[in-house]
């Protein structure tokens, strides 16, 4: 007679255990989905900061920041995406917010200084870099320090910062070009030429360095294009630069010849060089 009662108790217990097990299973699944969502969101943030269209990334991080305003990674992503979109004036207040949040890093402060510099606020950029301890040594920090020292005409400091920055990156072409341009503005044409050459060796596609190299050589009245990797269009453009440099220094006949060479060398119609030559010949005719 006790068997039915025992069976009922057993069934009730089994049901309770089953319900408990189901609840635990549901909680486990929910936690698992939460973990997956966090991973997916982190991956999505990374994607938005790399391959996504910069303005789409701005919209994404703007939406996410409104939903989760206390997440520093989202606020940082918004600031970084604004920089990628070249919306520098908007990036400044975004970074100002980031550096006031818990978890702000020295990298954030350097990025804030970079945003300030890009927006033209050199004084505040310098102030922000001064808040970063000197023991924090990164390529970006020293590159910015070099640019600011340049703007203040603190040449020894600039050279020291440029040299340090070059040693902290595997892709120094850009900073070598900046360093060379600094030397060019000081009138140190030989050193500038050397640095531009170094930049081109590091990145043979960097046309800015090639053009700057020509400016440095032209300033020394050396109007020959050195042996550097250039295509026909680039050669024509460099000849144009050389021609204008020669004319500026009073070597008008040489300049005219270089402009004609530029026009002949260019694989298409070289309107800029044609206008330069026409203006020069009209001035001479009216002269």
Q: According to the 3-state scheme, what is the secondary structure of the chain?
A: CHHHHHHHHHHHHHHHHHHHHHHHHHHHHHHHHHHHHHHHHHHHHHHHHHCCCHHHHHHHHHHHHHHCCCCHHHHHHHHHHHHHCCCHHHHHHHHHHHCCCCCCCHHHHHHHHHHHHHCCCHHHHHHHHHCCCCCCCCHHHHHHHHHHHHHCCCHHHHHHHHHHHHHCCCCCHHHHHHHHHHHHHHCCHHHHHHHHHHHHHHCCCCHHHHHHHHHHHHHCCCCCCCCCCCCHHHHHHHHHHHHHHHHHCCCHHHHHHHHHHHHHHCCCCCHHHHHHHHHHHHHHHHC
* 172 falls within a domain: yes
Residues 247 and 209 in one domain: no
pLDDT range class, residue 32, cuts 50, 70, 90 = very low
pTM of the model as a whole:
0.80
* 126 falls within a domain: no
Residue 185 belongs to what domain range?
137-222
Residues 242 and 204 in one domain: no
Instruction: Report percent pLDDT > 70 for the chain.
Output: 84
Average pLDDT of the chain is 87
Q: What is the mean pLDDT of residues 73-90?
A: 96
pLDDT (0 to 100) of residue 26: 52
Residue pLDDT, tens place only, 119-173 = 999 999 999 999 999 999 999 999 999 999 999 999 999 999 999 999 999 999 9
Residues 88 and 149 in one domain: no
218 pLDDT above the threshold of 50: yes
* 131 falls within a domain: no
* 267 falls within a domain: yes
240 vs 46, which has greater pLDDT?
240
Tokens of 41: 């969101």
pLDDT (0 to 100) of residue 40: 52
pLDDT range class, residue 199, cuts 50, 70, 90 = very high
114 vs 25, which has greater pLDDT?
114
* 39 falls within a domain: no
280 vs 208, which has greater pLDDT?
208
286 pLDDT above the threshold of 80: no
pLDDT range class, residue 226, cuts 50, 70, 90 = very high
Q: What is the mean pLDDT of residues 193-216?
A: 97
* 37 falls within a domain: no
**Domain-ending residue, one of 121, 153, 178:** 121
Residues 64 and 115 in one domain: yes
21 vs 74, which has greater pLDDT?
74
28 pLDDT above the threshold of 80: no
pLDDT (0 to 100) of residue 198: 98
**Domain-ending residue, one of 66, 93, 121:** 121
pLDDT range class, residue 23, cuts 50, 70, 90 = low
Tokens of 25: 């299973």
Residue pLDDT, tens place only, 231-275 = 999 999 999 999 999 999 999 999 999 999 999 999 999 999 999
Residues 71 and 101 in one domain: yes
* 208 falls within a domain: yes
* 46 falls within a domain: no
The dihedral through the CA atoms of 67, 73, 75, 80 has a sign that is negative
Overall number of domains in the chain: 3
Tokens of 103: 């978890």
Residues 62 and 81 in one domain: yes
We report the CATH number of the domain holding residue 176 as: 1.25.40.10
């Amino acid at each position: 007679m006790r068997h039915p009662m025992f069976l009922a108790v057993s069934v009730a217990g089994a049901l309770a255990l089953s319900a408990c097990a189901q609840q635990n299973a549901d909680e486990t699944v929910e936690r698992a989905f939460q973990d997956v969502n966090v991973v997916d969101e982190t991956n999505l943030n990374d994607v938005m900061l790399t391959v996504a269209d910069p303005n789409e990334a701005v919209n994404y991080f703007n939406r996410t920041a409104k939903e989760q305003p206390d997440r520093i990674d989202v606020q940082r992503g918004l600031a970084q995406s604004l920089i990628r979109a070249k919306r520098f004036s908007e990036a400044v207040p975004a970074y100002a917010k980031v550096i006031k949040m818990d978890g702000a890093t020295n990298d954030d402060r350097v990025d804030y200084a970079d945003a300030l510099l890009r927006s033209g606020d050199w004084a505040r950029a310098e102030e922000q870099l001064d808040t970063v301890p000197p023991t924090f040594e990164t390529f970006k920090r020293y590159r910015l320090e070099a640019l600011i020292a340049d703007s203040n005409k603190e040449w020894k400091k600039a050279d020291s910062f440029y040299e340090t920055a070059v040693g902290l990156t595997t892709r120094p072409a850009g900073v070598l070009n900046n360093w060379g341009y600094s030397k060019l503005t000081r009138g140190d044409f030989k050193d500038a030429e050397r640095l531009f050459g170094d930049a081109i060796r590091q990145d043979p596609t960097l046309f800015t360095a090639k053009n700057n190299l020509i400016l440095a050589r032209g300033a020394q009245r050396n109007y020959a294009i050195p042996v550097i990797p250039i295509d026909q269009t680039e050669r024509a453009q460099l000849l144009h630069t050389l021609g204008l440099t020669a004319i500026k220094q009073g070597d008008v006949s040489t300049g005219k010849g270089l402009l004609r060479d530029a026009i002949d060398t260019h694989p298409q119609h070289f309107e800029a060089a044609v206008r330069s030559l026409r203006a020069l010949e009209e001035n001479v005719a009216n002269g």
